[in-house]
Chains A and B, each alone.
Chain A
């Protein structure tokens, strides 16, 4: 049985009906990992012993007739920038190669309470800074749809585990698109919730005002299921929202009649790959056929979003990563004879060049004489971008855009940093505005997955989940497994 191909909700049924055991399921996934991991390289750390122990525990619970949560006994993967107590958390960096966290992230606590299973920690761009997973200290992950191509980033590892059947569900994090874009490149569903829905406590901070944890899964139902567990206010995170968490699975109805879908014209312009555009156009037509109303809208400040992000995010990151100084944990250059020398050497040797670039960019834009011109300005433009969305949402219920203007591209494309940054143009504005955004498989271009992004109003995950679910159920894209070709 290829259990690894199933969704969490299908497997939950089977577990409850005692058709399969959690140990059996977990072993099946580990077997799959053993088979394909040498090519995909999605994982940084595997935790088989503990995973199987947990699986055995759940099997006992089921045997005893206990009611179990939807994710109980179902193995998932966690992006390696989320703190897991006792399980190495590296952020795919030499700096944290041997970090043994002393506490669990809030989302991990919640998932443990559901008695779920953690297979291991997945690969990412170093400290979540990147769009391809290539900046990982441990080497890049490969796209299961074509192993010569990038899986996207920074949550490339998590997305790859889903696409390759190396996990049933996974967690990623999203600062400028790092859940949605890899989901798009690998034919998965990825959702970044409204900023503040999910606690950031334990998510190694990249850009505090932009980071959110979210699921990458095989289908929309699984994404909604994971959301149910991980959402909720956390007293350890001052920026988490004290709002009720609805049962997101109840939003999964096949109905878009009368739904006003806005198409921001700036997202369908020059930079969009015509093949991606074609897939999106078909998806839009599908929505119309299902009764949705398409509305042309404009988000006039879209062209300023990328640079706004690449000022704000590095600025916050420069301070967030200052704690990595070789004093309390992490890599330390042991030869240095003074603390300043030690810190400089440890950071120089412990960080990769993209991380260094962003730290320095951040330091620069915050420095004396430049704060007003860059950081303050960017914070003001961020307000303009937020207002764009507020205006647009007066005319529609949600927005539809490509997740990425391109499909997955070759590893080692040797692109300029700025050129790579520009490809985040569709996802970045959503983080700047704090809105919920989901990427669903919308079709294929040259045999590679194309993702469609749905952007909702603040706290309105339900509408985008409903629209995503409706589209998904009208097609079979979520049932197609990656062929693991190329190479």
Chain B
């Protein structure tokens, strides 16, 4: 029996406003516990919320960036549940009248473009943080609550259940993250928790029209975790169904260490949030003029940046697409391109050796040790013939380790390419003299002999001889 997987993602993104959603406390990350708090975000008796205008601005911006309809009439609602990190034991959120509806993101998987729908985007406030006394929440006798994060503004972006594989889910999340970064509404740092993703997954027999029961997976804090968790969950559900069981609608958590999803179901009631309109806040009415202004102020989005790079820098589609895949990468490119005319060269390095390095070290371009200036300079050195492409790889590695400029390293390691014809002629003639058989072989039609001679010459010159010149001079002398 074949199964179709149905996946929907709920993404929470912390907005990078200066102050919180409903009070003027700083949203700065880190800091000693309970030092960015006030009567309002601590939920003191009698305190009241006042909406931060920038939260609305950012929500509109995010909505426009994913082609949503911005709703003119907005209200807030209370979502009621008890938990120690929730200082009022209700969260101010938006229930039935979210600020954005009906958008989409186009993703590319295996060369195919697919449109993933976005159901809605709404504004809400974040909860505080629990610091557990033990290793995990389950093994802790006590916890300490820090409300610094309580009240930080969030937008929640809910996708349609349009994804059918972990690859699609990953592509969607990557694209959404990039778009949010480009709009500058969020830092989108998954490791820091400013971008959080929950996945809703269900399976149904191939060809079926009715979706199966879905399970929600929480605590996915990296792309890799997202993919692995989805893969695991799909298998778990299929196995369950094939064994005659039924999938339970529940919340599960991803245990990255064990590589499994675990039920978080407590024996308590399923959450009845008892939503009702927030009486302490008045509606937000957004008119066409407001939307138009935000639209006009939208920072350049990935698609536009890609087109610009293709036009201004002559990049091909594939390269441009990948360069703009994250804002940081695009910015790195722009910076490096200031130091060299060779955009294609930069693109090649970024998409080749640099990306390989980032992947193997599991870091992002923001943590990449080589500065854009140095990368640009290296490309220049190659193009000027000072550094051969092959030896550039060595310089690359050294730059990673030492952070020194390519010029300095070329000098230090004596890697400067020999392009002086006289010097190369000398080595060529020397090598030819030492390998008469190779000349005979080459003239007899064995092309490999040429390669062998080139190899010998490169060895003699410790890789520094200009390969093009070597080839030309060799061929000349073996006419």
Contacts and interface: CB of A to CB of B under 8 A. Distances in A.
A and B touch in the complex (CB under 8 A): yes
Interface stretch (B6-14, B79-87, B159-167, B395-403): B79-87
Given A208-B279, A343-B82, A238 B87 contact: no
- Residues of A contacting B: mostly: loop
5 contacts: A201-B46, A203-B46, A239-B279, A239-B281, A316-B276
Question: Which residue among B80, B88, B143, B280 has the maximum number of chain A CB atoms within 10 Å of its CB?
Answer: B280
A315 interface: yes
Nearest to A343: B82
A108 B49 CA distance: 19
Nearest to B44: A102
Nearest to B22: A238
Contacts of A205: 45-46, 48, 280
SS of B interface (majority) = loop
A82 interface: yes
A201 B22 CA distance: 13
Contacts of B80: 318-319, 322, 366
B82 A325 contact: yes
Nearest to A91: B45
B128 to A, nearest CB: 10
B50 A323 contact: no
A281 B281 CA distance: 42
Given A203-B46, A239-B279, 15 more contacts: A101-B44, A200-B46, A200-B48, A201-B47, A202-B47, A209-B279, A236-B48, A319-B88, A323-B89, A328-B42, A328-B44, A329-B45, A340-B82, A366-B80, A371-B274
Contacts of A239: 48, 279-282
A350 to B, nearest CB: 13
B404 to A, nearest CB: 53
A363 B269 CA distance: 14
Contacts of B48: 200-201, 205, 236-239
A43 to B, nearest CB: 20
Interface of A: 81-83, 89, 91, 96, 99, 101-103, 105, 200-205, 207-209, 235-239, 315-316, 318-319, 322-325, 327-329, 339-340, 343, 363, 366-368, 371, 375
A238 B145 CA distance: 28
A319 B78 contact: yes
Interface in B265-295: 268, 272, 274-276, 279-282
B105 interface: no
A83 B282 CA distance: 23
B299 interface: no
Nearest to A326: B84
B131 interface: no
Q: Which residue of B44, B80, B87, B143 has the most chain A CB atoms within 10 A of its CB atom?
A: B44
Given A366-B80, A367-B274, A327 B145 contact: yes
Contact of A238 (B42, B44, B268, B282): B282
B102 interface: no
A158 B268 CA distance: 43
B37 to A, nearest CB: 10
Contacts of B145: 327-328
A363 B84 contact: no
Contacts of A315: 276
Nearest to B281: A238
Contacts of B43: 323, 328
A345 to B, nearest CB: 13
B349 interface: no
B468 to A, nearest CB: 72
B51 interface: yes
Contacts of B42: 328
B264 interface: no
Given A96-B45, A238-B48, A323 B282 contact: no
Contacts of B51: 238
Contact of A83 (B45, B82, B268, B279): B45
Nearest to A337: B141
B273 to A, nearest CB: 9
Contacts of A328: 42-44, 87, 145
Given A239-B280, A368-B274, A322 B90 contact: yes
Contacts of B50: 235-238
Contacts of B280: 205, 208, 238-239
B351 interface: no
Given A319-B78, A322-B88, A366-B274, A329 B279 contact: no
